[in-house]
A and B are shown apart, each in its own frame.
Chain A
Amino acid sequence: MSYKHIYFNEKVCNGCNVCVDVCPCDVLAPNKEKGKPPVLAYPEECYFDGACITLCPRKGAIEIVTPFPMRGGFQRV
């Protein structure tokens, strides 16, 4: 199933590509333009383990929006 769920904040990300290096599933690829945020090469192969966010040296550079089929299994009391 296709979805786009990883967003980069261009103002914070400096294109260091640590997230590309550590992603266990090779979801991301370096941007062809140096210093720019990576691109989503294989978003549908994401394991939602958060390696990209956890090891990113710049807080706020990466945002994940949980794909819709994974949502909604909750009930407010």
Chain B
Amino acid sequence: MKELKVIPIETDVLVIGGGLAGCMAAINAAGNKELKVTLAEKSDTRASGKAGTGVDHAWSYIPPVHEPMGYTLDDLVEDWRQSTASGASGFLRDDLVRLVASTMYDRMLDLEKFGINFRYEDSKVPGKFRVVYQYFSVPGSFNFDGVPLKPKLTAEMKKRGVQIINRVQVTDLIKTDGQISGAVGVGTRIAEIYFFKAKAVVLCAGGQSRIHRNPTGVDFNTFGPPTCTGDGAAMALHAGLPIVNMESLSGKPNLRAGANYNPNYGDPRSTVQPAARIIDWKGNIIVPRTRFYDWEKLGKEKWTPEVRRKWLEERRSIGNIRGRMAEMHDRGEGPFYLDFAEATDYEAQYIEWSIKNEGRGTQFMRYFKDEEGFDLKKTRQEYAGYGPMEFGTGQRGLWVNRGLETEIRNLFAAGDEVGAFLNAAAAPGALAGGWYAGGMAATRALAQKKFPVAGEEEVKGRKAICSELLNRERGFFWKEVEVYLQNLMDFYCGGIRSEAMLKRGLERLDYARAAPLKADNPHELARCLEVKSIMDTAEMVLRCSLERKESRPEPLGFRRSDYPQPSQEWSCFLGIRLEDGEFKYAKYRGDKPV
């Protein structure tokens, strides 16, 4: 049996995960010349994370656009409360919304310095931006050339001297005297153990995927990136930290435009603006076409609460489009189509451009046009294909304070790793939050004189786990156990849940935990470790679903057959944590524990 090599790395700031949040955290921290900043990434920072090959939207408070409208930061937060949080203050971290909204515009200006274009000659918007409606009662989301984001951010990190270590999956956090002092990781191409010692750590390993089975049968054609397997929340759980909103992660019935291609868009009120509409099989309009804001009116027309009221009414009459169509489909209705027939040529070009700026959108348009010869205006895209699935960018994850620090000192979190954002962390949460968390971690590292010394136990433990997986004579292939877990989650933890079914799901999860996994090489070892993260995610989803004794419509979107009504008592976030091997629960309203 060959001994796994241990690679020790000492650094001032360790960033775990190199998606948008991680890159921004590292770039900002490395602005301090006297600090060594190290970033550990499971894939390669040039193409990793949810925005790996691009992102097309980023919401923000945009002073040159919103000030002439008389629309304030407070108005934006209130929009958020009324729409995304459905008016329930228990479900709004307005401190986090404010943090992102108030700094995101500056981050766009930073991205411009790093080489990202977001100004266009043909634009009538101040600053030559392209701004469309998405979440707010006013246009509030930039469209931009997002495909080169990750290569540009990687180049900026290198320029600032960040040590980038690709192909290492971080698996454990190290705690010394009640503080985070480093982490343990495993190489995904060479089976080696990384032993990181750090003065401050930023955790941004992204969200969770591969919890439910993909109904197309194309395994990794998932909604979120299949590389994001909840490793961050899993290691935080084992470090004793609370994770929130896990019950809302999965099980949503969902129909998506582009049918089984799963191109990750299709809401005419956000991602395919302007000019997209939804029609049914008879040609009836389900959702009318959208339009650009008339920028000639900017400065002449003032925003009023009446505008918000009108907009919210319109939104409510549509409901959650994809969820609503899934319900209609269950009643035997359909098919439904996304349709661009009413788009002008310019609008169709605009939509195509914006779709392409989301990296997977580029691939979708390539398939759509090059492989099939389709034309956006002359081809309807069917909504189809999706049963229970993971959903909810950034709504589940670590509980943090308003400084993005967790309950364990020196551990910060950002991006989709942070919980309680309710559908809305996404790219701005990652870009703005990542930058902020990196700054906080740098300040902390500067104040800390000595390196903490512990971690040998964690390294030994991880080494033993990996050796066992690699040297087992017989065992199950990672995918066998993953499919078992997905079957379990689809059946016991789908759209409608109950105590008895959830308890049975937990029993079957115990059976999976006892399964001997076997890895034939480093690649399979990494997948086995991901399956272990998926088990932890499944356990948190099952347990939190059991704990939340109510049903609640979107955006939390949670249904229990034995508790069919919303309950005032549950108008709050639910957190789960491990304490001496026991699961404990806590409630939070807004940014405070109840």
Contacts and interface: CB of A to CB of B under 8 A. Distances in A.
B47 A3 contact: no
B382 interface: yes
Contact of B374 (A47, A65, A70, A74): A74
B545 to A, nearest CB: 27
29 contacts: A1-B218, A22-B43, A22-B46, A23-B44, A24-B43, A24-B47, A24-B48, A25-B227, A44-B218, A45-B226, A47-B221, A47-B222, A47-B227, A48-B221, A49-B52, A49-B360, A51-B46, A51-B52, A51-B53, A54-B53, A54-B362, A64-B367, A67-B218, A69-B218, A71-B261, A74-B258, A74-B381, A76-B379, A76-B380
The 3 closest A-B pairs by CB, nearest first: A73-B259, A51-B47, A24-B43
Given A50-B53, A73-B258, 19 more contacts: A1-B219, A3-B218, A22-B44, A23-B43, A24-B43, A24-B52, A25-B226, A25-B227, A45-B220, A46-B220, A47-B220, A49-B47, A49-B360, A50-B359, A55-B151, A69-B218, A70-B216, A73-B382, A73-B385
Contacts of B341: 77
A77 B260 CA distance: 19
A53 B360 CA distance: 11
Contacts of A74: 258-259, 368, 372, 374, 379-382
A46 B261 CA distance: 13
B226 A55 contact: no
A66 B52 contact: no
A54 B147 contact: yes
A26 B261 CA distance: 21
B360 A72 contact: no
Contacts of A10: none
Contacts of A76: 374, 378-380
B371 A65 contact: yes
A7 interface: no
Contact of B363 (A24, A49, A55, A71): A49
Contacts of B460: none
Interface string B42-66: 0110111000111000000000000
A59 to B, nearest CB: 13
Interface in B317-360: 337, 339, 341, 359-360
B262 interface: yes
A55 B339 CA distance: 32
Contacts of B262: 70
Nearest to B367: A66
B90 to A, nearest CB: 35
B248 to A, nearest CB: 24
B359 A54 contact: yes
Interface in A14-52: 21-26, 41-42, 44-51
A70 B439 CA distance: 42
B53 A75 contact: no
Interface in B14-46: 43-44, 46
B220 to A, nearest CB: 5
Contacts of B371: 65-66
Contacts of B413: none
A48 B360 contact: yes
A51 B226 CA distance: 14
Nearest to B222: A47
Interface in B46-96: 46-48, 52-54
B221 A70 contact: yes
B218 A22 contact: no
Contacts of A66: 261, 367, 371
A31 to B, nearest CB: 16
B218 A26 contact: no
B254 interface: no
A65 B288 CA distance: 34
Interface string B219-235: 11110011100000000
B540 interface: no
Nearest to A18: B46
A11 to B, nearest CB: 19
A24 B162 CA distance: 20
A25 B227 CA distance: 7
B276 interface: no
B523 interface: yes
Given A47-B222, A49-B363, A64-B363, A24 B337 contact: no
Contacts of B44: 21-24
A63 to B, nearest CB: 9
A75 B380 contact: yes
A7 to B, nearest CB: 12
A40 to B, nearest CB: 13
A49 B222 CA distance: 10
A77 B225 contact: no
B366 interface: yes
B384 interface: yes
B47 A69 contact: no
A25 B225 CA distance: 9
B291 interface: no
A42 B188 CA distance: 14
Given A51-B52, A55-B151, A69-B217, A75 B382 contact: yes
A23 B189 CA distance: 12
Nearest to B219: A44
Q: In the complex, which of the residues B222, B260, B384 has the most CB atoms of chain A within 10 Å of its own CB atom? A: B260
Nearest to B361: A50
B478 to A, nearest CB: 11
Q: In the complex, which of the residues A3, A21, A73 has the most CB atoms of chain B within 10 Å of its own CB atom? A: A73
Interface in B178-222: 188-189, 216-222
Contact of A77 (B47, B363, B378, B384): B378
A17 to B, nearest CB: 12
